[in-house]
Chain A
Amino acid sequence: MTLKSSSKEKSVGVVGMGSFGTAIANILAEKSKVIAFARRAEVVDEINHEHKVNGVSINPTIKGTQDPEFLCQNCDTIFIMVPSAAFQEVIKSFSPYLYPYHLVIHGTKGLCLNLPEGKKLTDVQTISRDNILTMSEVILKETVAIRVGCLAGPNLAKELYAGQPAATVVASKYNEVILEGQRLLRTDKFQVYGNSDIVGVELSGVLKNIIAIAAGALAGMGLGENAKGLLVSRGMVELVYLGNALGGSLKSFIGLAGIGDLVTTCNSTLSRNYTVGFRLAKGEKLTEILESMEEVAEGINTIRLMKAFVEGKGMRAPITENLYKVLFEDLKIEDALQYLMKYPFSVDVDFL
């Protein structure tokens, strides 16, 4: 990198133009030049020629590319907004072009299983913290980028796109990443909070998906708001316990990315996780549901990992364990609910 090219204002990169990625790219484009990466040529063409993604108009200044190298060379700050299933693969394809001067912020909610070569989750039964990678840990493992951050919070893409007021959390160990994220994203309608506990913020976004499935299930059974209130509160307790065991701090879980996102997700009837729960309660089998869904609901993967983690750690997580039984062991959802109602929670809140 020469000094000449750096004196020019660089672009901001957005990798992955799904609904969330597109919404973020639009927000970024209000202040900066944006280069967006998509894997499929049609999407890139649509961005560059029609200024649309999936038929929805976007800021016309956004440039599309299929070339990771081009994006990395022209951007110092890169937002990775791909679904968790594709995350590792995308990061690997970017790894050769990323350098330590890049700031990388991701907005992906998911966990990655990290087992020794050739082993599967079914081979090992239980796992420890070392076997679980958050998305920022994937970036650190696969690339030399070290100034890494994440974006999490109640950010439904549709509402962001419509320009409704919302807020998000940029979390990173590095103040400069938080400041840069705030500088780039903050608008009159988009508030950006900072948090140094990146793992806690990532975990909030991941673990709340479990509760979202349960929320869908309650609605599918036709239960009302009392039950939902109960779920959100007990779900929060479980989230805090699991999150602490995985190395996140309590403060993050009761913040915007934790409780804020949890409330939003449990009320959002359109999310994939909610749908899975809803259809389960209507009596469908998991396999049928999965076949008819385009993308995997992240909560299912999270439940699988968390169940193995909980067993390895010797702790209890009643909601997660029972959802696991419903999903994979044919427990009836009514029985699971019955079990939870009988479970001897005696204390309301014991983590504060």
Chain B
Amino acid sequence: MAEGYIKHQYEPILPQKDEWPVVKLSKSRKDFVKKVAEASKKSVLEITGNNIDLLKEELETTLYREKLRIKQNPWAVDPDDDSDFWRKVRQVLVQTSADPHLNKTQKKKKYLEVLDDITMRYAEEIASNFVHTHYKVTRRMVTFGFARLLNAARVKGIKSLFSNQFTLQDKIQIVGETDQIRELASKGTIVMVPTHFSNLDSILIGWIISVLGLPPFIYGAGLNLFNIGIFAYFMNALGAYKVDRRKKNLLYLETLKTYSSEAIQFGVHSLFFPGGTRSRSGMIEKKLKLGLLSTAVEAQRANYQKGQQNVGGKIFIVPVTINYHFVLEAPSLIQEYLSITGQERYYKERDEFSTSYKISKFLVKFFTKGSDISVSIGKAMDVMGNYVDNAGNSFDQHGRKLDTRDYFVSNGKVTVDQQREEEYTHHLGRRIVEEFHINNRVFSSHLVAFTAFQLIKRENRKLDLYNLLRLPEEDIFIVYVEFKEACEMVLNKILDLEAQGKLQVAPHMMQDIDGIISHGLDNVGMYHAKRPLIKNNNGNIETQDLSVLYFYHNRLIGYDLEKLF
């Protein structure tokens, strides 16, 4: 294996499972859920400014949307008493507002009770069900199962089933600041923020966390994944809490954010996909969803307010970049992207993972066929995006040590300022995007896809993107010599950028340009029915699916490489 790849089993940093923050959390689950519900209630009251009419309005909006959801978009995972619960909420709301005998204080009391019920229900629904034995089983199953699949695919012959020639780490390469994240995880609280391209990411990250010897992280997983029994089991085992994207009401969103914030304050390591959903365009996320990210900033301030000055109360943001040659969902993702950005504003969130069969097919395909993956663990930062050392100290751009607490101080005291924290969250978001680009690892497949698409675009410069993508694929070809020249040009620029520390380059790029191109062509979107790029019989370059080519091309957007064309 090329140098720079880390391949060994790390000792767990906390061998006793009782020391795992996530185990502690699950032991006090009941109290914790109560605490979350209480805190959410407080924050909803704060948002409505303690104004009883505004609160009533929020409750009514929530009720209306929930009834609509139950009617229009029910899922298997929804609890049976869903409609009963909301019917009762409705009754109370209607009675309270119509009852002439109630004075203002009594009415307020009634509304607060309803609010109590709803936040408690939401908190209970969101909370994870981590069970240690399940975690152990799952981890073993995943590692063992994947290794078998992998070897079956790669080692030929009868012995394949028992071969240990290839391990998962040959396929999934972990690079970057692995020692730092281990150090920091034993001192403070980690919030890991990976790029998100494939549904596989959460399983992948879960596996990486365990390989690195870290205790399990909690993370928000789409409630749709819990629709399927077996998946729900895995998700629960991995410490997932539930995020229901159908519920967009204030009460739910506040409860969700509070859950995350309180869990971080509890010292549980967390995982957010800050892009919100998979990157549909194939570009590295540029705009992040700031809702969950803001909970990291809030939790950090809360810790300082509680007087936790030392590293134990510090929160570390660790960006992680995942690179693939091949994203199984690419064709459907890019179609969705195009229909969103094009004129069709409306689209329905599709659930590709709707049946166990589809998932198993996906996994089998991935582990028998999928090509290599690299996961880069980025440098850890504090919640303001300053780099930290292994002891958890923050440093400014000039290498001067600084105290993160100072960011939350005014007139010598730690103060709460929502607006300030909103800006800080924006700032952190921008820093994470920067780090994503720096940690991005260029593969041969990205290079060829980028170059080919840019050449095609240059050839048809009069067309806008949508017309370009509608060109008949059979009419498009690129002469190899020209392609090679362009690839070299882009590669040189990429190596330039690497020297400046603006991105990283995978070791397989250290060969001659013909070698890189053929490696790239072999790997780019290799298992799609229609290949994004192939070499035809005359030795020229052709595409079978321009949209998918566009998807893989997008990976290198954000470095101004387009200007070369």
On A, residues with C-beta under 8 Å from B are 1, 3, 5-7, 10, 76, 95-96, 99-101, 103, 143-144, 146-147, 173-176
The verdict on A100 contacting B420 (CB below 8 Å), with A1-B412, A6-B413, A7-B412 known, is: no
The verdict on A100 contacting B407 (CB below 8 Å), with A1-B412, A6-B412, A146-B427 known, is: yes
Query: Cβ of B413 and Cβ of A100 under 8 Å apart?
Result: no
Which residues of chain B have C-beta atoms less than 8 A from A3's C-beta?
Answer: 412
Q: Which of B396, B410, B417, B423 contacts A144 (CB 8 A)?
A: B396
Give A28 Cβ to nearest chain B Cβ, in Å. 17
Which residues of chain A have C-beta atoms less than 8 A from B407's C-beta?
Answer: 100-101, 146
Query: Cβ of A100 and Cβ of B423 under 8 Å apart?
Result: no
Which residues of chain A have C-beta atoms less than 8 A from B398's C-beta?
Answer: 95-96
Q: How distant is the Cα of A7 from the Cα of B412 in the complex, in angstroms?
A: 8
Indicate the member of B384, B412, B420 with the most A CB atoms within 10 Å. Answer: B412
The verdict on A176 contacting B417 (CB below 8 Å), with A76-B411, A99-B402, A101-B410 known, is: yes
- Interface flag for B406 (CB, 8 Å): yes
On B, residues with C-beta under 8 Å from A are 384, 386, 396-398, 400, 402-404, 406-407, 409-413, 417, 419-420, 423-424, 427
| Cβ-closest 10 pairs across A and B | A6-B412, A100-B406, A101-B406, A101-B409, A100-B407, A144-B396, A175-B419, A99-B406, A173-B423, A174-B420
Q: Which of B400, B404, B419, B423 contacts A96 (CB 8 A)?
A: B400
Which residues of chain A have C-beta atoms less than 8 A from B406's C-beta?
Answer: 99-101
Q: How distant is the Cα of A20 from the Cα of B412 in the complex, in angstroms?
A: 29
Please give me the residue from chain A that is nearest to B410 by CB atom.
Answer: A176
Q: How distant is the Cα of A264 from the Cα of B419 in the complex, in angstroms?
A: 34
Give A93 Cβ to nearest chain B Cβ, in Å. 13
Q: How distant is the Cα of A99 from the Cα of B420 in the complex, in angstroms?
A: 16
30 examples of A-B residue contacts, CB within 8 angstroms: A1-B409, A1-B412, A3-B412, A5-B412, A6-B411, A6-B412, A6-B413, A7-B412, A10-B411, A76-B412, A95-B398, A96-B398, A96-B400, A99-B403, A100-B384, A100-B403, A100-B404, A100-B406, A101-B412, A143-B396, A144-B386, A144-B396, A144-B400, A144-B402, A146-B407, A146-B424, A147-B420, A175-B417, A176-B419, A176-B420
Please give me the residue from chain B that is nearest to A175 by CB atom.
Answer: B419
Which residues of chain A have C-beta atoms less than 8 A from B400's C-beta?
Answer: 96, 144
Please give me the residue from chain B that is nearest to A141 by CB atom.
Answer: B397
Q: How distant is the Cα of A101 from the Cα of B412 in the complex, in angstroms?
A: 8
Which residues of chain B have C-beta atoms less than 8 A from A173's C-beta?
Answer: 423
Which residues of chain B have C-beta atoms less than 8 A from A5's C-beta?
Answer: 412
Query: Cβ of B420 and Cβ of A175 under 8 Å apart?
Result: yes
Q: How distant is the Cα of A7 from the Cα of B400 in the complex, in angstroms?
A: 27
A-B contact count (CB 8 A): 53
Which residues of chain B have C-beta atoms less than 8 A from A143's C-beta?
Answer: 396
Which residues of chain A have C-beta atoms less than 8 A from B396's C-beta?
Answer: 143-144
Give A175 Cβ to nearest chain B Cβ, in Å. 5
* 16 extra interface residue pairs, beta carbon distance < 8 Å, beyond A101-B406, A144-B400, A176-B420: A1-B409, A1-B412, A95-B398, A96-B400, A100-B404, A100-B406, A101-B410, A101-B412, A144-B397, A144-B402, A147-B420, A173-B423, A175-B417, A175-B420, A176-B410, A176-B419
Which residues of chain A have C-beta atoms less than 8 A from B411's C-beta?
Answer: 6, 10, 76
Interface of B is mostly: mixed
Give A136 Cβ to nearest chain B Cβ, in Å. 13
Which residues of chain B have C-beta atoms less than 8 A from A99's C-beta?
Answer: 402-403, 406
Please give me the residue from chain B that is nearest to A8 by CB atom.
Answer: B412
Which residues of chain B have C-beta atoms less than 8 A from A175's C-beta?
Answer: 417, 419-420
Q: Which of A7, A100, A103, A174 contacts B419 (CB 8 A)?
A: A174
Give A7 Cβ to nearest chain B Cβ, in Å. 7
Q: How distant is the Cα of A1 from the Cα of B409 in the complex, in angstroms?
A: 11
Give B172 Cβ to nearest chain A Cβ, in Å. 36
Please give me the residue from chain A that is nearest to B415 by CB atom.
Answer: A176
Which residues of chain A have C-beta atoms less than 8 A from B423's C-beta?
Answer: 173-174
Which residues of chain B have C-beta atoms less than 8 A from A101's C-beta?
Answer: 406-407, 409-410, 412
Give A322 Cβ to nearest chain B Cβ, in Å. 30
Give A268 Cβ to nearest chain B Cβ, in Å. 35
Q: How distant is the Cα of A147 from the Cα of B407 in the complex, in angstroms?
A: 9
Query: Cβ of B402 and Cβ of A100 under 8 Å apart?
Result: yes
Which residues of chain B have C-beta atoms less than 8 A from A147's C-beta?
Answer: 420
Give A145 Cβ to nearest chain B Cβ, in Å. 10
Please give me the residue from chain B that is nearest to A143 by CB atom.
Answer: B396
Which residues of chain B have C-beta atoms less than 8 A from A144's C-beta?
Answer: 386, 396-397, 400, 402
Please give me the residue from chain B that is nearest to A99 by CB atom.
Answer: B406
Query: Cβ of A146 and Cβ of B384 under 8 Å apart?
Result: yes
Q: How distant is the Cα of A36 from the Cα of B235 in the complex, in angstroms?
A: 60
Q: How distant is the Cα of A240 from the Cα of B407 in the complex, in angstroms?
A: 34
Please give me the residue from chain B that is nearest to A1 by CB atom.
Answer: B412
Q: How distant is the Cα of A261 from the Cα of B314 in the complex, in angstroms?
A: 46
Give B29 Cβ to nearest chain A Cβ, in Å. 36
Give B73 Cβ to nearest chain A Cβ, in Å. 38
Give B356 Cβ to nearest chain A Cβ, in Å. 49
Give B292 Cβ to nearest chain A Cβ, in Å. 22
Q: How distant is the Cα of A96 from the Cα of B412 in the complex, in angstroms?
A: 19
Give B13 Cβ to nearest chain A Cβ, in Å. 30
Which residues of chain B have C-beta atoms less than 8 A from A174's C-beta?
Answer: 419-420, 423
Which residues of chain B have C-beta atoms less than 8 A from A1's C-beta?
Answer: 409, 412
Which residues of chain A have C-beta atoms less than 8 A from B413's C-beta?
Answer: 6
Q: How distant is the Cα of A95 from the Cα of B402 in the complex, in angstroms?
A: 12
Give A124 Cβ to nearest chain B Cβ, in Å. 14
Q: How distant is the Cα of A1 from the Cα of B407 in the complex, in angstroms?
A: 13
Give B259 Cβ to nearest chain A Cβ, in Å. 27
Indicate the member of A101, A146, A176 with the most B CB atoms within 10 Å. Answer: A101
Give B434 Cβ to nearest chain A Cβ, in Å. 13
Give A104 Cβ to nearest chain B Cβ, in Å. 13
Give B358 Cβ to nearest chain A Cβ, in Å. 45
Give A10 Cβ to nearest chain B Cβ, in Å. 8
Which residues of chain B have C-beta atoms less than 8 A from A76's C-beta?
Answer: 410-412
Q: How distant is the Cα of A176 from the Cα of B416 in the complex, in angstroms?
A: 11
Q: How distant is the Cα of A143 from the Cα of B407 in the complex, in angstroms?
A: 13
Which residues of chain A have C-beta atoms less than 8 A from B384's C-beta?
Answer: 100, 146
Which residues of chain A have C-beta atoms less than 8 A from B412's C-beta?
Answer: 1, 3, 5-7, 76, 101
Q: How distant is the Cα of A229 from the Cα of B338 in the complex, in angstroms?
A: 49
Q: How distant is the Cα of A3 from the Cα of B309 in the complex, in angstroms?
A: 14
Q: How distant is the Cα of A174 from the Cα of B426 in the complex, in angstroms?
A: 12
Q: How distant is the Cα of A47 from the Cα of B402 in the complex, in angstroms?
A: 33
Please give me the residue from chain A that is nearest to B385 by CB atom.
Answer: A146
Give B417 Cβ to nearest chain A Cβ, in Å. 6
Give A137 Cβ to nearest chain B Cβ, in Å. 13
Q: How distant is the Cα of A146 from the Cα of B397 in the complex, in angstroms?
A: 13
Give A148 Cβ to nearest chain B Cβ, in Å. 11
Which residues of chain B have C-beta atoms less than 8 A from A10's C-beta?
Answer: 411
Which residues of chain B have C-beta atoms less than 8 A from A6's C-beta?
Answer: 411-413
Which residues of chain B have C-beta atoms less than 8 A from A7's C-beta?
Answer: 412
Q: How distant is the Cα of A76 from the Cα of B419 in the complex, in angstroms?
A: 20
Please give me the residue from chain B that is nearest to A178 by CB atom.
Answer: B419
Q: How distant is the Cα of A351 from the Cα of B91 in the complex, in angstroms?
A: 52
Q: How distant is the Cα of A147 from the Cα of B424 in the complex, in angstroms?
A: 10
Give B496 Cβ to nearest chain A Cβ, in Å. 12
Give B301 Cβ to nearest chain A Cβ, in Å. 13
Which residues of chain A have C-beta atoms less than 8 A from B424's C-beta?
Answer: 146
Q: How distant is the Cα of A174 from the Cα of B415 in the complex, in angstroms?
A: 14
Give B45 Cβ to nearest chain A Cβ, in Å. 21
Give A43 Cβ to nearest chain B Cβ, in Å. 28
Give A286 Cβ to nearest chain B Cβ, in Å. 35
Q: How distant is the Cα of A96 from the Cα of B386 in the complex, in angstroms?
A: 16
Give A324 Cβ to nearest chain B Cβ, in Å. 26
Give B387 Cβ to nearest chain A Cβ, in Å. 12
Q: How distant is the Cα of A100 from the Cα of B413 in the complex, in angstroms?
A: 13
Which residues of chain B have C-beta atoms less than 8 A from A103's C-beta?
Answer: 410
Please give me the residue from chain A that is nearest to B386 by CB atom.
Answer: A144
Which residues of chain A have C-beta atoms less than 8 A from B417's C-beta?
Answer: 175-176
